[in-house]
Amino acid sequence: MAIANETALVRMANKASTDLTGKEGYVAVYDSGLALAATANLAGALGVIVEGGANSSDVAIAGAFGGIVRCKAGGSISCGAKVKVVNGGTVESYSSGAGTVIGVALQAAAADELFEVALRTPITFAS
């Protein structure tokens, strides 16, 4: 039995002053243009960057946090761990406390690696 993985991508013009070239796997937000997520602006989270791009170019985003996508690890992550967004748009393991969980790690990862995550609608936890 095969499992099909289809993730809807949204193409948006990068009109922000942020160059998103090479930022595949980072969480993007919309704040007067596309930018990398920071803990202070997660309310505008769009999804994970699949194809980055320079200013005025198109950027592809796995929108609405659905499907399986490769995210950029901000630290060591175990397979099966819940992952949360951290400053700069990377993700780290979440166990408790404050944080915005966006999915579950489908493979282990070390810092700065791209790894597969099953995305879900973000859930923000207070401390």
For the chain, the domains span: 9-63, 68-125
Task: Out of 64-73, 86-95, 101-110, pick the least confident.
Answer: 64-73
* Residue 39: per-residue pLDDT: 62
* Residue 101: per-residue pLDDT: 86
pLDDT in tens, 99-122: 888 889 999 999 999 999 998 877
DSSP characters for 25-75? T-EEEESSSEEE--GGGGGGEEEEEEE---TTSEEEEEETT-SEEEEEBSS
Question: pTM (2 decimals)?
Answer: 0.75
